[in-house]
A and B are shown apart, each in its own frame.
Chain A
Amino acid sequence: MSAFTQWFNERTPGLGAVYKKHMTEYYAPKNFNVMYYFGSLALLVLVNQIVTGIFLTMFYTPSAAGAFDSVQYIMRDVDWGWLVRYMHTTGASMFFIVIYLHMFRGLMYGSYKKPRELVWLLGMLIFLALMAEAFMGYVLPWGNMSFWGAKVIITLFSAVPWIGDTLVSWIMGTVGAAGLYVPGDATLNRFFALHVVALPLVLLLLVVLHLGALHEVGSNNPDGVEIKQHKGPNGHPLDGIPFHPYYTLKDLVGVGVFLIICAIIIFFAPTVGGFFIEHDNAIPANDLVTPATIKPVWYFSPFYAILRMIPSKGLGVLALIASILVLFLVPWLDRGKVKSIRYRGLGYKVALAIFAAVFFLLGCIGADLTPGWITAVFGPNADITSIENLFGRILVILYFAFFAFLWVYTFFGLERTKPVPERVTTHA
C-alpha cells in the first residue's frame, strides 16, 4: 500500500471497503455472455445524458417563446453544440435500446427470480422513471410534435375519475388563446425542472439501490446457477471472478463496440430517418396546426399502440398502465424453479419468442408503420383502420396472454424442464 493510499484510507473510513465490496471482491459468474453487457452500458448512457444535459442546460431557454430558438442556437452558434445535442438525442434512444435488451436478458435467464425479486422491482422503477424523464425531455425542444405529444399524453390524465379534468389543467398550468388549458410556458418550465433536477436525482438513487440490491445477492448468469453454492477454500465462489479487473475490462470492449455504433449514428445519421429526431419537430410548436399523425418517439410506440388499439379511452389508459405494471409482477407470476431459458420447457421458449415479436410489432403500429404495410399487402383500397385494429388487438391480447400463460404454465406444473447443471457450463 503506498503512503498516499494509506493516508487516504485513514481519512475515509469505509471507502476502501466499499470499493472492495463492489469491485475487486465482487465475484461475478465467469460465464456472462453478450446479453450481460447492457447493464454497464445503461450506466454509461446515464452518465452521457447527465454530462451532455448539463452543457445543453447552459444554453437552453425554458420558455415557449425561447425554447425552439435556443435549440437552433445550440445547433448553429454554440461551438460543438450540435455534437452535444446529438449525443443527448442519440443517448436517449440508445438508453431505451439498452434497457429493453437488459430487461429481455432478465426474462431469458430468470434474473428476476428468488433471491433477485427486489433487483427486478428496482429495475422496473428505474424504467418508469426513465419513461417520465424521456417524455419530459422530448417536450423541451418545443417543436410541433413536442407540443402535440405533450397535449395527448397529459390529456390521458383526464381518464382519472372525478378529478381527471382538474388534474389535466393543473399539469398544463397554461391558459391558451381560446381560454382553455394547453401545454405552454408553465408546462415547459415545470417539465424542465423535473427533467434536469428531480428525475435525474430519482434515477441516480434508484440505480444505486438497484446495484446495491444486486451486489447483496450476487449476479445471475446464463446457466441460472447460484455460484455461491460452490465456494473454494478461500471463501470465494469457484465459478466467480472479481468484477475488477475481469468484467471492467470485458465491459470496456463492449463499451468500445457500443460507442462505434453511437458514433456512426451521431456523425452520419443523427435523426435515423426521423426515428431518433422526428421531422415534425423541425416545425415550432403551433396549437393551430396538428401534425398529420401524432405519435410518440419510437421507444414509447409499443405502449402507445396498446392505448390506441383499445376503443374506449378509459379502458385504453387502464390497459396502458396494466401493460407496464404487469411487468412488476413477473417474479410472482413465474412459479418455475428453473431460471435459465437453456433448461426451461419448450413452452417458455416459444412464449418468450412470441412475446418479443409482439412487442416489436406493437411498436411498428405505434410508430405508424402499419398503414404502409397494409396497403402493400391488401392493395390501395384496403380498409386500413379495421385491418390495423384487428391485427393490433390480437397483438394486445397476445401481450397480456404471455403473462397469463407464464402463471398457468408454472403454477400447474405444466413445464417440462431439463436438468440444471451444478456448476456453470461455459465461459467467454
Chain B
Amino acid sequence: MRDMTLRASVRTLSALLLALAVAFAASPSAFAEEGGYPDANINVHDQASLQRGARLFMNYCVGCHSLKYMRYSQMAAGLGLTEQQVMDNLDFTGAKFQDAIVSAMPEADAEKWFGKAPPDLSLEIQARGADWVAAYLKAFYLDPSTSSGWNNTVFPNVAMPFPLWQLQGEQVAVMNPPEDGQPGTVKGLKLAHPGSMTPAQYDEAVRDITAFLAYVSSPDELVRSHIGAWVVLYLVLFTLFALVLKLEYWKDVH
C-alpha cells in the first residue's frame, strides 16, 4: 500500500515537474522578441559592458534623451561605481547624485529642432526589445531626401540624425532597381566612409549601449536572478519536506 502511495505521489510530482519544465522552457526562448532582428547578444551581468555602455550613453545620447526613471545614485549601485566616479565621469548635466538622469535639452526647443521631442529611453528595451535597439543603432545611412540627411532601415524616416556617425562612419544604401514605376527599396547598407571604430569595435559599442539600456529598463534584473536561485532552492526543500510529511500521514489511508 505504502509503495503504491509513494509511486502515485512520485507520478503526481513528476507530472507537475514536467509542467514546470515546459513553462520554463517556453518562457525565455520560445517567446523571444518578435521582428526577426539578429540577437543583440547582450549580458546585463557583465558590469564592464554596462560601464562602457553608460559612458557611451552619457557622451552621445543624454544630450537629447533622458532616463528619467533612473537616478545617478541607483546607476552607481548597479554599475558598481562610487559616487565620485559617477560625478566625475558620467554626470555631464550638473545634476546632483540623487537626481534622475534628465537631458539638459529643453523640450520646447527639441520639438522645434526635430519636430518631435526625443523620447525618454528608460523603458525603451522593455517596449521594443534589445534586438530592435541594437539593429536600429546599426541601421543608419546617408539619405539626402530627409531633413536631417540620415535615414534608418529599422525605423524608416526617423527624425533623429545619427549621433554615432563618428564612431561607425557613414553608411550608404545599396538600392534594389526600381520596379513598376515604384522607387527601389533598400537592399543593404555599405560603409562608405569608415569612422574611428572598426566594424567589430562598433558592434561591441552597440552591444554595450544596448546592455546599459536593458539594465536601465529593468534594474531589478541584476538583483532578481541572484535571489531567485536561493528562493527556488528553498522552495524545492520545502516541497520535499511537505511530501515526506504528507506520505507519513497518508500511510493510514487504504
Contacts and interface: CB of A to CB of B under 8 A. Distances in A.
- Do chains A and B stick together as partners? yes
A268 interface: yes
A interface, over-half SS: helix
Interface in B1-31: 5, 8-9, 11-13, 15-17, 19-20, 23-24, 27-28, 30-31
Most buried by B among A272, A275, A280: A272
Contacts of B8: 426-428
A263 B12 contact: no
Given A257-B239, A260-B236, A428-B9, A274 B20 contact: no
Contacts of A267: 224-225, 227-229, 231-232
SS of B interface (majority): helix
B45 interface: no
Contact of A273 (B5, B31, B225, B229): B31
Contact of A264 (B16, B24, B74, B219): B24
Given A260-B236, A265-B23, A268-B28, A250 B74 contact: no
Interface stretch (A241-249, A316-324, A344-352): A241-249
Contacts, number: 129
A241 B5 CA distance: 15
A33 interface: yes
Contacts of B223: 82
Interface string B103-126: 000000000000000000011001
Contacts of B225: 267-268
A338 to B, nearest CB: 24
B227 to A, nearest CB: 6
B246 A249 contact: yes
Contacts of A271: 126
A252 interface: yes
A176 to B, nearest CB: 21
Contact of B127 (A258, A264, A273, A282): A282
A377 interface: no
A82 B129 contact: no
Contacts of B123: 72, 282-283
A274 B127 contact: no
A259 interface: yes
A265 B225 CA distance: 11
B193 interface: no
Interface string A265-306: 111111111110001101100000000000000000000000
18 contacts: A34-B12, A254-B16, A255-B242, A256-B238, A256-B242, A257-B20, A260-B236, A261-B23, A264-B20, A267-B224, A267-B229, A269-B28, A272-B31, A279-B127, A372-B34, A426-B8, A427-B8, A428-B12
